[in-house]
Amino acid sequence: MTPQDLTAPHAVPQRPYSTTPARLYAAAHGGPEGRDAYPPDLELVDGLARLGLDPALIAHHSRDFHRRAVTHTAHALGISQFVDIGCGLPAQSRPNTHTTVAAAHASWRVLHVDNDPVVRAHADALLRTSTPGATTVLEADLRDPDIILDRAREVLDFGEPVAVMLLGVLHYLTDADRPHNIVRHLVDALPPGSCLLLSHTTRDYAPRAIQRADELLARAGIQAQARSREAVTRFFDGLTPDGPGLVPVHQWRPDDPASAALPASRIHTYGGIGTKPSPALPATRRSGGSGPGAGGRGGSV
């Protein structure tokens, strides 16, 4: 196992001006990150704003949830191995996943995954110059989870808990992509004690505006499907909710009361963490008995 998987700089696609989720997010965030956006990305952000949405506010609170969720998982839950799927362009003004994890652990590993070649090129350049730790970059698509899992098994220790991050990525999969099956496949492969960190756009607060936003993205070549809280909750099936469970991202373990007081109808995004429990032991083993029915409670925990 090598500490880094940094190959030759990856080729930038032949059509760099087609809008991608990574550059759309950079355009919405603005500031230093906005330098990576092109005019079509900025025009699409303006179109979303004309629908009554606030792309900059949504991007800000989504990124802040990223920071708090990774910090909590690394520090409070003690996990030092992360798979950041749909990682997007490296942040310029805020901590990236690997820098947050490195601040919590002397020994750590992060696998960054994105299907955008531009993200790969930027990440390779950044990590080659500024990251001394065990960081790997993989160009792959969430729709091919086995490719991600195969690489994760090569660079991470699956004998220890792993945190899988799906922040702001699942709403780019439609129901035809069977996203719940993909997430279940990823989680099933993880060792006990592992975590799922997830955020997802919702249509609960402004269904018509969000539907029109999905249609606008589709015309720009980006498929998207916002989901209800019930549909997002299903991604955590079989997992134990951490802390507040699935809530609007700005209300998940907030460190800024003023931000937490914002109406959820301005953020349109849910977030949460779920932990994979250890498999239940048979009643006979838990009780130390040797025959049927030992333990006296029919296998209840």
pLDDT tens-place values along the chain, 301 residues long: 333 333 333 333 434 567 889 888 888 987 656 566 778 889 999 999 999 999 999 999 999 999 999 999 999 999 999 999 998 877 765 778 888 998 899 889 999 999 988 777 777 766 665 555 588 889 999 999 999 999 999 999 999 999 999 999 999 999 999 999 999 999 999 999 999 999 999 999 999 999 999 999 999 999 999 999 999 999 999 999 998 999 999 999 999 899 899 999 999 999 999 999 987 644 443 333 333 233 333 332 2
CA torsion angle 244 82 161 237 (round to 10):
50
* 203 falls within a domain: yes
Q: For the chain, how many structural domains are there in total?
A: 1
**pTM as predicted:** 0.84
* 181 falls within a domain: yes
* 113 falls within a domain: yes
Task: Residue 114: give the domain boundaries.
Answer: 21-287
CA distance 67 to 90: 13
* 217 falls within a domain: yes
* 4 falls within a domain: no
* 171 falls within a domain: yes
Handedness of CA 69, 105, 185, 21 (dihedral sign): positive
123 in Cβ contact with 98 (< 8 Å): no
Q: What is the pLDDT of residue 124?
A: 73
Q: What is the pLDDT of residue 289?
A: 38
Closest alpha carbon to 133 in 109, 113, 159: 109
Closest alpha carbon to 34 in 43, 25, 21: 25
Q: What is the pLDDT of residue 29?
A: 83
* 298 falls within a domain: no
Q: Fill in the amino acid letter for 74.
A: A
Q: What is the pLDDT of residue 127?
A: 66
Q: What is the pLDDT of residue 279?
A: 79
* 150 falls within a domain: yes
Q: What is the pLDDT of residue 130?
A: 56
Q: What is the pLDDT of residue 285?
A: 37
Q: What is the CATH number of the domain that holds 203?
A: 3.40.50.150
